[in-house]
A and B are shown apart, each in its own frame.
Chain A
């Protein structure tokens, strides 16, 4: 049991049309997803664009409304209660924070860093100005920045520095879970390495959990303990990092893993053959892994700590002779 539980979460958006602008259909951005988040662990959420991974993060933090399903925080139902002014939900608001992909637009350009970072503190703690300043300096230090940085404006920093400030701000309210939505996708390789290192250091220091949302399978492998692969608003596979990367079962996971560029140019040809084989298999077997409407099946227990969305009745015959490792990239 984790401190945060997401149960059968659905987020549907209405499609309106026709003469009377009636609701004609729904886009099922998230369609029945379960998550359990324990402290100190990192959960990777992987999927291609449009798979609904960002919507899950936004719904947990209250930027989107859940259509149905529950979010439980410490056993209490907090669904759609984020951003509530009710004192009862104060802890939930304080304990869950978010880091965005674009650090520039997530900071007010007219505010200095000290103002940007002290806002969560003002909301949740009664610090004196001296205490605030001290705390901001401490936070900047843990992301490797000078205390003088607090008097500058966001535009005075490079992209990597701004993202580190974004991380520091998320930590300011002393949260338990940080939802990181593509935190390094806009950054160069060497800058990304720096941000990821700081995120891991902070995690150890504060016993934080991360919900790490990314399309980059290499970064997710580096950061996560547990991984969920998303497609069409549902999880196709969920499990420990080792299981997902070394022993993928769902055809979509295999396809995704085989598409990661291989860092060894000498095995290029073999990798390409394997990738195209998986691609062909995906096209041929799509109906075995998705119901007639194209919906992903419910997750089933495949192994300890490994769940796969497979057809309910007969076990898939092709699975037994299909234990080829599709390779996890680098």
Chain B
């Protein structure tokens, strides 16, 4: 381990959900690091565990039905050991969160001003006047026109893009060093999405925060991320700097995913790549061997590792299992 600690470190995180008396891991042995001034994208399809990873870091899971193992290290503190009271001092102050649905994360009965200043009231010693100045500054920063008027409005009076800007303003209120954004643009139109992504990149440049960006959209990843972790069935299957991942994807899942992006057709028989089979459910998920193996049955069994781990195949580029060395698409030559 490096002497200098990363901004945020997740070590061997396992999050299990209870079904009857058994816990099934939705996040299975995930380790990652987030540095200052970096956007780390976590990409995967629904059910791969990417949102569970976010809620585990934030401690937002339901403790009765969830079991978490491993470590989340922030400033030499294992967040998973904290009680609710201490956690609340971290949330919003050190770690800000942006959710997918802006309407759901805003209180419909509070004005925009109250929602933003609530977080300042809780975490800082600013007096009323200073809070007001800070709220105005934040609204300006996230590009809201006429902030003086808008802050007296209620969420339903704003458009979707404006609401998401308010949510970002709340997340930024206490200048958190870490921001976790879970599908921040999925509910928005493309033009608004582009504006919000630009905003996030600009804010990150200004504040030097580390951002964990959770998304299913590879286009969003290509536009914003510095580093990418691809998740499948609760595990990270590939991790690389963004240019490397798009230019040189290695894991069969990453390659299949990139191949199923709709594109312009070359001829009439051109078809999109379809991944064989379906994602197994949490209970039926095989916990041994390569989890992607059932989706690529034409690859001989002995190309997979018995207990696949992440291998660093080139500097900063990690791939799980060894099957990528022998992978070819169905019907293609090796």
Contact = CB atoms under 8 A, between A and B. Distances in A.
B274 interface: yes
A53 interface: no
9 contacts: A192-B262, A218-B262, A221-B264, A261-B217, A264-B222, A265-B242, A272-B223, A279-B191, A279-B195
A328 B265 CA distance: 13
A48 B222 contact: no
B110 interface: no
Contact of A266 (B194, B220, B243, B261): B243
Contact of A256 (B191, B219, B246): B191
Interface in B93-129: none
Residue among A192, A216, A263, A275 facing the most chain B CB atoms (10 A cut-off)? A263
Contacts of B260: 189-190, 192-193
Given A188-B46, A190-B257, A190-B260, A259 B190 contact: yes
Interface string B210-252: 0000001111101101000000000000000011001100000
A120 to B, nearest CB: 27
A260 interface: yes
A196 B272 contact: yes
B189 A193 contact: no
Given A190-B274, A219-B262, 5 more contacts: A48-B190, A188-B216, A189-B45, A221-B263, A259-B190
A196 B260 CA distance: 10
10 A-B pairs closest in CB distance: A261-B219, A193-B272, A222-B262, A193-B260, A188-B45, A48-B189, A190-B275, A259-B194, A259-B190, A259-B191
A276 B198 contact: yes
Contacts of A86: none
A330 B45 contact: no
Contacts of A197: 271-272, 274
Interface in A263-285: 263-266, 268, 271-272, 275-276, 279
A215 interface: yes
B218 A190 contact: no
B278 interface: yes
Given A189-B216, A329-B219, A330-B261, A194 B191 contact: no
Given A48-B191, A190-B257, A261 B222 contact: yes
Given A188-B46, A222-B263, A256 B190 contact: yes
Nearest to A242: B264
A275 B194 contact: yes
Given A218-B261, A330-B261, A262 B223 contact: yes
Given A193-B262, A197-B271, A275-B194, A215 B189 contact: yes
Contacts of A196: 262, 272
Nearest to B225: A265
Nearest to B257: A189
